[in-house]
Chains A and B, each alone.
Chain A
Amino acid sequence: MTGKQKKTLIRIIVSAVLLAAARLFPFEGWKSLAVYAAPYAVIGWDVLWRAVRNIIHGQVFDENFLMALATVGALATGEYPEAVAVMLFYQIGELFQSCAVGKSRKSIASLMDIRPDYANIEKDGQLVQTDPEEIAVGDIIIVKPGEKIPLDGIVTEGKSTADTSALTGESVPKTIYEGSDVISGCINQSGLIKVRVTKPFGESTVAKILDLVENASSKKARAENFISKFARVYTPVVVIAALLLAAVPPLITGGNWSEWIHRALIFLVISCPCALVISVPLSFFGGIGGASRSGILVKGGNYLEALAAAEIVVFDKTGTLTKGVFNVTAVHSDDISESRLIELAAYAESYSVHPIAKSITEAYGKDIDRDRIASSQELSGKGVKAVIDGAEVCAGNGKLMDEIGVSWRPCHHTGTTVHVAVDGEYAGHLVISDEIKETSAQAVADLKAKGISKTVMLTGDSKETGEDTAGKLGIDQVCTQLLPAGKVEEVEKLLKEKSAKGRLVFVGDGINDAPVLSRADIGIAMGAMGSDAAIEAADVVLMDDDPRKIAKAIDISRKTLRIVRQNIVFALGVKLAVLLLGALGMANMWEAVFADVGVSVIAIINAMRAMKLSK
């Protein structure tokens, strides 16, 4: 509790005791007023003072003024205990509300607690803690076990593991050693490392994430804008209704003035839209906070809201559903062993810098003994011809095999096939393809389970490769052999296809697809740690490259909206019910106070659920 809250608490206690004491003296008339005036003054002086001050400033429909009017009105109609109790309850509610908001602010802030406080640099053999902003690119910083890595850089010395969970939600630590890139905001776990800084603090991953999350609350969702418009008309309407209620019925029926004024005062107590004005933004804030905890950065409440209505999800293939790294996925040897085939291919390709050649030498995994290679010749567009251990080895595509007169057989696997021939004899082939991520199929299935009506994959790859991948993953539609501009066209076609309320989500790895990311209703960039272009262009950024996070983001979005809807319906429902009962003379001021602050507190507690993650 803050000092201000403690003071309020003391006043509440003092006033409650005085009120209880006052009830022991059943005085009449002015004596009774005097007895109740003490607890009223203790609890209500600040509300009255603020009401007067705000009227001077021209702020009429203000919470303080309404409460002051309602309680002074109650005093004027002789309802002394009620006036005190209403004020007392109002203050208790406000105190609760202030504590709840403070607590939620703190817990959301702690979710985003990735800002590094200091960086260690060595000066004259001593470690000095320095402000990360003062460290220049190229400086060597020292990160001890248990410390946050303060800046992006490359490890120059030491071996350790890094906990990236604060950034990605991924709980398995990453092994880091000399030469590894490290990202600011991760926690160095086991060993002391030295890091050469590659980016100034302002451009580091951590600064970018913080900037993004802090600005997220300035992009408001439609629900938030609705509430702010609603709040503007709600108060005046209720106050005018109160005035009419106080004046019209007694004039017509000639009835009891104080009875109708009392009913009108009930209206005034309920006329503050605070429950809605607090709880709706709080829910979005909590949802965004909770999402960022699992490595999903949402750039604004509007995007979080739109995600819930996702209808078509369009994926880019390479780097999104596949790893974007080429690997040997099949080895089919004829007369020799598989390992011998890989060895020959790796030796033949060892001088080539082609990505396919690289993937073969990687699959071989052992060092190449260059002495065994007598000659090597690259045949552009066909493959390589080399002499290894005295034997002539040709590795390449069908064209090369035809040229040297070797009969070859096609492979039923999709991907790029590399045939190998030894001394004019066919030895077999390797298939190289981009590997599908282990989580991709699950990601597509998760989206289906969430009610996404259509999944589409866009790729520049050949028809067979694209359709094969889509088939394995259970994707509904594939568009192959697309140039980057073609991707925008396809997305535009799909945008026309979707229903009016549905939203189109595009997921890419942020490389070359910035135009599509911005054209889609919601652009999601993944594997974005360190990629500036993706963070700029996308609306939602996934910190790691797990496509299952898309379904999770939709989940968080829907949960947040559900809470927002609950709060709107609940708060308005209770307020309207009490207004109605009040007008009919069936509700008293206690219920009115509950409909005001009580509802606020309940709505705030409900809103806090948006932050909690469902596992």
Chain B
Amino acid sequence: MKKVFRLENLDCANCAQKMENGIKKLEGVQDCTVSFMSQKMTLTADDGSFDEIVKKAVKLCRKIEPDCVIVLK
């Protein structure tokens, strides 16, 4: 499953990079890109555990850049 999320208050390009690398390492994630320019995260991950993975990704982002919020639609 592939889904695009909007990111709010993503102010630092290096952090975007770190988030991307971190999320890619999560189990069940096939691919992830965090675009600093378009303020969007594209996540491709296993269908079954997708919600679980999104939760982990949100937690990871909060750890790296506490100001940045992943908008869950």
Are A228 and B17 neighbours in the complex by a CB distance under 8 Å?
Answer: yes
Q: Is the beta-carbon distance between B14 and A63 smaller than 8 angstroms?
A: yes
Residue of A nearest to B36 (CB): A281
Given A53-B66, A59-B64, A277:B14 Cβ within 8 A = yes
Would you call A214 an interface residue if the criterion is a C-beta within 8 Å of the partner chain's C-beta atoms? yes
Interface string of A220-261 (1 = CB under 8 A from B): 100000001001100000000000000000000000000000
Residues of chain A within 8 A (CB-CB) of B4 are: 214-215
Residue-wise interface mask of A (42-53) relative to B, using a CB-CB cutoff of 8 A (1 in contact, 0 not):
000000001001
C-alpha spacing A272/B17, complex, angstroms: 13
> Given A57-B64, A63-B12, A220-B33 in contact, is the A285-B17 Cβ separation under 8 Å?
no
Say yes or no: is A273 at the interface (Cβ < 8 Å to chain B). Answer: yes
A232 to B36, CA, bound (A): 16
Specify which chain B residues have a CB less than 8 angstroms from the CB of A228 in the assembled complex.
17, 20-21
Q: Which residues of A contact B16 (CB under 8 A)?
A: 277
Alpha-carbon distance between A439 and B47 when the two chains are bound, in angstroms: 49
Q: CB distance A57 to B63 under 8 Å?
A: yes
Contact of A98 with B37 in the complex, beta carbons under 8 Å: no
Mask: chain B, 1-30; 1 = CB below 8 Å from A; 0 = not: 000100000011110111011000000000
A285 adjacent to B37 (CB under 8 Å): yes
Are A231 and B63 in contact (CB-based, < 8 A)? no
A516 to B36 alpha-carbon distance, docked (Å): 34
Closest A residue by C-beta to B17? A228
By the criterion CB–CB under 8 Å, are B13 and A217 in contact? no
A331 at interface, CB cutoff 8 A: no
Measured between beta carbons, the chain A residues less than 8 angstroms from B18 are: 59
Indicate if A372 sits at the interface (CB-CB under 8 A): no
The range of chain A's interface size is 20 to 34
Interface residues of A in 271-297 (CB under 8 A from B): 272-274, 277-278, 281-282, 285
- Give every chain B residue within 8 A of A273 (Cβ-Cβ): 14
Chain B proximity of A200: nearest CB distance (Å): 20
Q: What B residues does A215 contact at CB under 8 A? A: 4, 42
Given contacts A218-B42, A232-B21, A272-B14, contact A278 B36 (CB under 8 A): yes
Chain A positions within 8 Å of B38 at CB level: 105, 214, 217, 285
**Using a Cβ–Cβ cut-off of 8 Å, how many residues does chain B contribute to the interface with A?**
21
* Interface status of A381 (Cβ within 8 A of chain B): no
Q: Is the CB of A217 within 8 A of B64?
A: no
Smallest Cβ-Cβ distance to A284: which chain B residue: B37
Tell me whether A26 is interfacial, beta carbon within 8 Å: no
Alpha-carbon distance A368/B27, docked complex (angstroms): 72
* A58 on the B face (CB < 8 A): yes
* CB <8 Å contact, A281 and B13: yes
Set of chain B residues within 8 Å of A104, measured between Cβ atoms: 37
Which residues from B are CB-within-8-Å of A272? 14
Q: Which residues of B contact A101 (CB under 8 A)?
A: 37
In the complex, are the beta carbons of A218 and B33 less than 8 A apart? yes
Inter-subunit contact A105/B37 (CB<8 Å): yes
The residues of B that contact A58 with a CB separation of less than 8 Å are 63
Q: Are A281 and B12 in contact (CB under 8 A)?
A: no
Can you name the residue of chain B whose Cβ is closest to the Cβ of A277?
A: B13
A217 to B41, CA, bound (A): 10
Interface residues, chain A, with chain B CB atoms under 8 Å away: 50, 53-54, 57-59, 63, 98, 101, 104-105, 108, 214-215, 217-218, 220, 228, 231-232, 272-274, 277-278, 281-282, 285
What are some 23 contacts across the A-B interface (CB < 8 A)? A53-B66, A54-B66, A63-B12, A98-B11, A105-B37, A105-B38, A108-B37, A214-B4, A217-B33, A217-B35, A217-B38, A217-B40, A218-B35, A218-B42, A228-B20, A228-B21, A231-B17, A277-B14, A277-B16, A278-B36, A281-B13, A281-B36, A285-B38
